Chain A
Amino acid sequence: QKEVEQDPGPLSVPEGAIVSLNCTYSNSAFQYFMWYRQYSRKGPELLMYTYSSGNKEDGRFTAQVDKSSKYISLFIRDSQPSDSATYLCAMTPHSGTYKYIFGTGTRLKVLA
């Protein structure tokens, strides 16, 4: 079993829809959680960064962490065709180590 599981998709939604992307993990020591967005043939870019449990909002994006369920989510409101990309979750036990464990990514398509 992988430490971080992520549905590869593809996930297709109409423009304006609310998108929910999720990751589950097995290591209860993970404390720092990130979401990266990767466009085709580009490098990943950081979208959201959260520590421990709770929610964090940035514009149309909300990151949610539920440590009791070992489950993290990224919500995208009012999705746009420009949001079409692969979304990768990443996590690490604690600061001072940079061995972030990445999910394999979920491919999202937002249809105009």
Chain B
Amino acid sequence: DAGVIQSPRHEVTEMGQEVTLRCKPISGHDYLFWYRQTMMRGLELLIYFNNNVPIDDSGMPEDRFSAKMPNASFSTLKIQPSEPRDSAVYFCASSTTGGRTEAFFGQGTRLTVV
């Protein structure tokens, strides 16, 4: 298995633009997580899905952020409009047990908003 695949690996965008991050979880995994990592705040859970249904989105910072999972093999995290403070590394992870034992992380998308 290729593992969790995220795209793009790097994204540089101007403030105010829409940004879409993409994730393909490991086949057969029924949980999908979106995290954001910064030096100051560390790794923060934004939202997670179970069987394509959003379970907890309380970590989503504000209405500018939205996430979807239209099917078991694809999820998106969208920021509209983007702001410089959104600059971070965004990780997608998937698991079969809800992350209680192990969540497999993707390589991350490094987002820079200028």
CB interface residues, A 30-49, toward B, < 8 Å: 32, 41-46, 49
Decide if B101 is an interface residue (CB 8 Å cutoff). Answer: yes
Query: Is B42 a contact partner of A105 (Cβ separation < 8 A)?
Result: yes
Query: Is A44 a contact partner of B105 (Cβ separation < 8 A)?
Result: yes
Question: Considering the chains assembled together, what is the distance between the CA atoms of A63 and B100 in angstroms?
Answer: 17
Residues of A within 8 A of B59 (CB): 99
Q: How large is the interface on A (under 10, 10 to 19, 20 to 34, 35 or more residues)?
A: 20 to 34
* Cβ contacts B42-64/A at 8 Å (1 or 0 each): 11110010000001101100000
Question: Considering the chains assembled together, what is the distance between the CA atoms of A29 and B76 in angstroms?
Answer: 33
Known: A43-B93, A43-B108, A98-B31. A88 touches B56 (CB 8 A): no
Contact of B56 among A43, A46, A99 (CB under 8 A): A99
Query: Is A98 a contact partner of B43 (Cβ separation < 8 A)?
Result: no
Question: Considering the chains assembled together, what is the distance between the CA atoms of A59 and B84 in angstroms?
Answer: 43
Q: What total count of A-B pairs have CB within 8 Å?
A: 54
Total residues of chain B contacting the partner, CB 8 A: 28
Question: Considering the chains assembled together, what is the distance between the CA atoms of A99 and B105 in angstroms?
Answer: 15
Closest A residue to B4 by CB, please name it.
A43
Query: Is A95 a contact partner of B100 (Cβ separation < 8 A)?
Result: yes
Known: A99-B56, A99-B59. A88 touches B43 (CB 8 A): yes
Known: A43-B93, A44-B105, A46-B103. A98 touches B42 (CB 8 A): no
25 contacts between A and B (CB under 8 A): A6-B42, A32-B100, A41-B107, A43-B4, A43-B91, A43-B93, A43-B105, A44-B43, A44-B91, A44-B105, A45-B104, A49-B102, A95-B100, A98-B33, A98-B48, A98-B55, A98-B98, A98-B100, A99-B58, A102-B44, A103-B42, A104-B39, A104-B40, A104-B41, A105-B43
A residues near B (Cβ < 8 Å) are 6, 32, 41-46, 49, 88, 90, 95-96, 98-100, 102-105
B residues near A (Cβ < 8 Å) are 4, 31, 33, 39-45, 48, 55-56, 58-59, 91, 93, 98-108
